[in-house]
Amino acid sequence: MEQKRFYVTTPIYYVNDRPHIGHVYTTTIADVMARYHRMMGHDTFFLTGTDEHATKVVDAAAERGITTQQWADQNATAFQETFERLEMSNDDFIRTSQKRHMDRVTGYVQKLLDSGDVYLGDYEGWYDAGQEEYVPENKAKEYDFVSPVNGKPLVKKTEQNYFFKLSKYQDALLALLDLGEEVNGSTFDVQPSARKNEIVARVKEGLHDIPMTRTGMTDWGIKVPGDEEHTIYVWVDALFNYFSTVDTDDRKKYWPAEVHFIAKDILWFHAAIWPALLMALGEKLPKVVYSHSYWISEGQKMSKSLGNFIDLEKIDHYVETFSLDALRWFLATNGPMGTTDSDFAESKFIEVYNSDLANTFGNCASRISNMVAKYFDGVMPEKGPHVPMSDEYDNIAEQCVTKYTEAMANYQLAKAGDAAMELVRAVDSYIERTGPFKLAKDPEKLPEVASILYNCAEALRIASVMLWPFMPDKVQTFWSRIGFAAYGEALADKGAGQFEQWTNWGYLQPGTAIEKGDALFMRYQVPKK
């Protein structure tokens, strides 16, 4: 059977900004999904990168008296370093100023010129330099002719432009999104469904052809082939990154992408323009565009004027205080995957940290290793008589694993994380119910205690496999303590795992030394002011 593939992407981030929690968030959820699929044994490709050909990049460089390329290099490096430091496991980092991307985009546009999907015409409209896009007349009015992005006036511009025949794809888009039909062998879905409905409604209003070039950019951006006056619009250039990066002999197998993670701000480009461009090229469509909502900060929208971004300094503070895995866990399980925004509040972070990580996973791991140390000299005992884990059913681990994989298949990271934690909580209540610490006082009951501890450790091992994509470092530490360092070795350097086997009951061997070690997550006490 052919190995399953999984290609996941993040938006490519504007190179003008400093990385902040929003960028880190989308990259983290893509990373969790990529790690999960690698652990499933799938041939996985995870892409992130930077979007560099915006006019504002030219302006920002000029203001600083350096070349545009220097400015872009500097800032792209900041993104790259940040993601490395945060242990993102992306397989590549695409920069749109790289030749490999630029050359391919030229080729795609040439193909569209040849097919007539791109043609020369006149365009008059309101240009928003903040978002690098033309705003339709009615929107411009709504904004009072001021950019909602940077607060500067919209500019009325007439240009000769190359247009993309977006209108031609209206029916196909509706067939794909509204009717859920296949078009030319592809399906295309936008999630969550409320976001899809917004797109369907907008497509039904009618699609116009869109300008996809602009003039007046001298040496930055990608030129229209055969017409040096015109530069390809930054959004079209940027969207192509998902395809250009894998448009090589050895990577072509990854296309179509399984999922593009983005936020609601850039949904239209991904849900309407991008599939239309691909259809025009005769290429397959990504299966899913997943559009999440926004993080806000301590109850308020993050904005430059408020200066309340969860920026790199704050991110570092959380990592130093609570660990990188704690940040990953909080982002992935409390983030805005649905249609409502999530609040990044310190008090909430601490609450989640203490309850899920310190008191549940971490504490359960300590409890078990302490008891194995105390009653069995730190060696996993042979099982004694059967002591069921639960009154209702004895396959709670299997049930949690099923919940987990179903949730992961639907990008429900909070639900998946909770399925793993549910298993840990089941271990805790099993301990409460059976009271091994009481039983152990009676030497005759030690075989029962052995069964209980075996079941606990085995269930926790299975939970840890589910937790690995969320907290790879801590789980690795845990594995090395219970004799499963081999899992981590298999997964190191983006290796494939065997999730299905690893989550089967019975892998833990009696006779294994169980190391105690420090608490995986120390309980956090809010310092007294």
Question: With respect to ligand MSP, which residue has the nearer C-beta, 51 or 356?
Answer: 51
Is the four-CA dihedral 381, 383, 388, 394 of positive or negative sign?
A: positive
Question: With respect to ligand MSP, which residue has the nearer C-beta, 161 or 241?
Answer: 241
Question: With respect to ligand MSP, which residue has the nearer C-beta, 22 or 275?
Answer: 22
User: Do residues 43 and 102 make contact, with C-beta atoms less than 8 angstroms apart?
Assistant: no
Question: With respect to ligand MSP, which residue has the nearer C-beta, 236 or 482?
Answer: 236
Residues 6+ apart with CB under 8 A from 139: 126
Q: How far is the CB of 147 from ligand MSP (least distance, A)?
A: 14
Give the integer Cα–Cα distance in Å for 362 and 364.
6
DSSP string, 305-316: TTT---BHHHHH
Question: With respect to ligand MSP, which residue has the nearer C-beta, 48 or 503?
Answer: 48
Token representation of residue 299: 């109850």
Secondary structure (3-state) at 233: coil
User: Do residues 337 and 414 make contact, with C-beta atoms less than 8 angstroms apart?
Assistant: yes
Q: How far is the CB of 96 from ligand MSP (least distance, A)?
A: 9
Q: How far is the CB of 419 from ligand MSP (least distance, A)?
A: 24
Q: Nearest residue by C-beta to ligand MSP? A: 22
| Listed residue (297, 244, 255, 230) closest to 7, CA to CA | 255
Secondary structure (3-state) at 456: helix
Residues that bind ligand MSP (CB under 6 A): 11-14, 17, 22-23, 25-26, 51, 238-239, 241, 262-263, 265-266, 294-295, 302
Secondary structure (3-state) at 24: helix
User: Do residues 286 and 256 make contact, with C-beta atoms less than 8 angstroms apart?
Assistant: yes
Q: How far is the CB of 231 from ligand MSP (least distance, A)?
A: 16
Check whether the bond before 436 is cis (ω within 30° of 0): no
User: Do residues 241 and 40 make contact, with C-beta atoms less than 8 angstroms apart?
Assistant: no
Q: How far is the CB of 7 from ligand MSP (least distance, A)?
A: 15
Question: With respect to ligand MSP, which residue has the nearer C-beta, 336 or 417?
Answer: 336
Question: With respect to ligand MSP, which residue has the nearer C-beta, 39 or 267?
Answer: 267
Q: How far is the CB of 446 from ligand MSP (least distance, A)?
A: 52
Q: How far is the CB of 68 from ligand MSP (least distance, A)?
A: 16
Secondary structure (3-state) at 354: helix
Residues 6+ apart with CB under 8 A from 451: 383, 384, 385, 386, 387
Secondary structure (3-state) at 183: strand
Check whether the bond before 192 is cis (ω within 30° of 0): yes
Question: With respect to ligand MSP, which residue has the nearer C-beta, 277 or 380?
Answer: 277
Token representation of residue 348: 């909430």
Q: How far is the CB of 478 from ligand MSP (least distance, A)?
A: 30
Beta strands 92-95 and 43-51: pairing type?
parallel
Q: How far is the CB of 269 from ligand MSP (least distance, A)?
A: 7
Question: With respect to ligand MSP, which residue has the nearer C-beta, 262 or 449?
Answer: 262
Give the integer Cα–Cα distance in Å for 453 and 447.
10
Run of H or E residues at 263: strand 259-263
Alpha-helical segments (H) within 150-272: 170-177, 193-204, 234-239, 241-244, 267-268
Q: How far is the CB of 285 from ligand MSP (least distance, A)?
A: 15
Question: With respect to ligand MSP, which residue has the nearer C-beta, 234 or 520?
Answer: 234
